[in-house]
Amino acid sequence: MADLTALSISELQAGFRKGDFTPVDAVKGLEARIAAADPQIGAYLSRDLESALAAAAKADTSLPLGGVPIGIKDAINVLGEPCTCASKILAGFKSPYDATAISKLRAAGAIPFGRLNMDEFAMGSSTENSAFQKTRNPWDTSRIPGGSSGGSAASVAAREAFATLGSDTGGSIRQPASLCGVVGLKPSYGRVSRYGLVAFASSLDQIGPIARSTRDCALVLNAIAGRDPRDSTSLDLPPEDFTSQLGRDLKGARLGVPREYFVDGMDKRVRERVEAAIKLCEGLGAEIVDVSLPHTEYAVGVYYIIATAEASANLARFDGVRYGHRAKNPRDLLDHYMRTREEGFGSEVKRRIILGTYVLSSGYYDAYYLRAQKVRTLVRRDFTEAFEKVDAIVCPTSPDLAFKIGERVDDPLRMYLADIFTIATNLAGICGISVPCGFVEEGDKRLPVGLQFLGKALDESRLLGIADAFEKAGAGEVLGTDPLA
């Protein structure tokens, strides 16, 4: 039997339906690959092989994702599975329910399989902030995979998963997808229910897929999108087939190139690959249009005010009283709270809670949080005006290649700037996708570069169609390569 872990979701399902192999074979093949590869990569925190095999044995392969195993970021609740958010404060916690996205995956026939490593509470750009282990980039295991959904992206790149779910608050799906040479889709805010996703920043968080192709991302989005009465921010929209515009060409598409996304300090080789990719789009028939997003320079500052403020409120629930880690032998209630959180949270989470509490405090709320919300409106307006002229925006996903593990741990500002091209998408609530656009030679290694397409809110079908057309012309070499071969 061929190596099933090299197959796309569509190829896997075709094999199921022809009887060439079964979902049980797929789970066993995946487990064998994980056992061989994950000691090098460190993508998985845990997995329940017995439950996955039992689900595979009774899978209905006639369903849209029937029999397909899908890895899950450790911030998304799966009934009976650990949900630690890669934090000591939730060590040993097991989920009492399924997130809505998981319920929808199950209804589509998919098999949730494994808990994937991440930056603690999704706070980070490198997956070095996990309390349990570091995840490594399959293209060069001395480098980071990106974050916070680093385990989700690295597992797909290393063929330890057919597809995964991640979450994207400021680029946490797209940036690791870029650095690992896979495809990552951040849906529009409200397209996918957040119920069951452990909240980081509630006005920014969104669940989305990471896979080896745009088509696979579209298939997963078909399953998880939709209104959920348990999430008041999810939108009540008619059902949509997100594969409907796949297979089209780029002729006549108007693609905007924002001048603010080509900045000094960007890696020259990344810039060259992205510019070559834009030229390829033009050669495929797209019209390239210069656009401006003038408030981009404020996006990082605005994000780290709004996101930390919301994190400060959301993480107040982890107090050691209701669930999670609890300090031993506290002197009194205040000592219990303080020691529980001191022992349970890592340094990056503490940093963001302190910053968020500060910007919400009396005397600083108007100066920081309220002003940031006003600038967020201007960022959103920039995109609205740009999309009056173009169908989508094309730009880099990350200004840098994957950097060495440990290189930026003592420089949080430089780490935060890794998301400079992804943050504004979340502030505006629009959709975005990162697609591989080539390699850069780095010593004896080859490191992937990602190209980002951004679409207006709720325009995922057109965005996926544009990304698919580019992918078929420009990303085949990356998508067809095994980094561990």
Q: Which residues form the catalytic set?
A: 73, 148, 172
Rounded CA gap, 162 and 139, in Å? Answer: 17
One-letter amino acid for residue 202 of the chain: S
Cβ neighbors of 413 (< 8 A, separation 6 or more) are none
Beta-bridge partners for 164: 71, 210
Tokens standing for 85?
A: 């958010």
Rounded CA gap, 389 and 46, in Å? Answer: 47
One-letter amino acid for residue 370 of the chain: L
Q: How many CA atoms lie within 13 A of 419 on its CB side?
A: 33
CA angle 230-164-411, nearest 5°? 95
Cβ neighbors of 405 (< 8 A, separation 6 or more) are 126, 128, 134, 136, 142, 143, 144
**Token pair 């050669």 in the structure block, residue:** 283
SS3 284: coil
Helix H or strand E encompassing 474: helix 460-474
Rounded CA gap, 421 and 262, in Å? Answer: 9
